[in-house]
Amino acid sequence: MRTDAGDHSPKGLEQYIDLVVAELEQLNADDIDVSTNLETSRIDVSISLESADLMEAQEDGGATIRAAFHAAEIATPGWKIDWVKCTMHRDGELVDA
């Protein structure tokens, strides 16, 4: 498993992201969206999933995304997930948190 950032070039990052997306697909993640910012070394990953409540969704979503990185042989020591937006559908009603 890689513990460094590896190839910092845009092409290298693209290859890593392709691996992560492929792993998310293997994990049956829905509505996969990945964006990157080379200047800040930031990777934004978004997926959709069904869950009984918002906290469980955050835990399951974070675990799924992290598992995809690990399966792509990218280690995540000191990883911090910043939840920018969570959206929950309850009985047909859209709830933003």
Asked whether 1 and 67 are in contact (CB, 8 A), the reply is no
CA distance linking residue 47 with residue 51, whole number of Å = 13
Q: Over the stretch 32-72, which tens digit does the pLDDT of each residue have?
A: 999 888 777 778 898 988 877 778 888 888 889 989 999 98
Does the structure show a pLDDT above 70 at 5? no
At 38 the pLDDT is 75
Q: Which amino acid, 86? A: C
Predicted TM-score (pTM) above 0.85: no
Cα separation of 62 and 47, whole Å? 10
